[in-house]
Amino acid sequence: MKRACCLLVAVFCCFCMAGTAWAGFSIGLENRIIENAVTNHFSLYESYDLAKNVQLFGFSTTSESYCEGYAGVGYLAKSWLQISAGLGLETNPNPWRITASLWTGKGPASLLAIYENGGSGYWYKILATYSLGKYVAVGVHTKRFMGIGPYLQVKMPFYTNCVVYVVPGYDWETKTIKTIVSISLNY
């Protein structure tokens, strides 16, 4: 199931890349540090302009113990508001998964909220950021299973498509300190 899940999204992403209205592509490696152990999570996101204000998207993430992938539709309702929904698969006996997200932003401030639910249960991510210029953004980040904490993002001055972010967080569910260190390439 893990391979089928990732293959589904990879095929979708290749389809999107072949299109003339390719909108964006992001590949990332997230290192999660929990009680002196590090786990790696590899992610891929692709979007494709279907029509004015409408995009198709695909997302996949995989680690040693988990994989999920989904595809969906996003709608840019206003220049400062985008909503999206998707359907996908995960590594679980009940593999179906749904997602919905909301992005809003104006000027240097933005907010992203993502909600997922399916066989392994619900998950969420909320990220509020404020850009301090061309290369640095700060904010607050919360993600289920990783906790809540301050967010620091730095774009590499020599290659602004390369983004690094760090989140030292506290997970209220497990009462532990967890840290995220991530690097991604965004096109």
pLDDT digits (tens), the chain, 187 positions? 555 555 555 555 444 444 546 678 899 999 999 988 999 999 999 999 999 999 999 999 999 999 999 999 999 999 999 999 999 999 999 999 999 999 999 999 999 999 999 999 999 999 999 999 999 999 999 999 999 999 999 999 988 899 999 999 999 999 999 999 999 999 8
CATH of region 2-186, choose from 1.20.1050.140, 2.60.40.10, 1.10.10.10, 2.40.160.40: 2.40.160.40
State how far the Cα of 152 lies from the Cα of 83, in Å rounded to an integer: 25
Query: What single-letter amino acid sits at 55?
Result: Q
**For position 119, what pLDDT does the model report?**
92
* pTM summary value: 0.88
The 10 Å Cβ neighbour count of residue 163 is 19
For tokens 């997200």, what's the residue? 101
Q: Where are the domains of the chain?
A: 2-186
Max CA pair span of the chain: 48
Cα angle for residues 118, 122, 126 (degrees, 5° grid)? 130
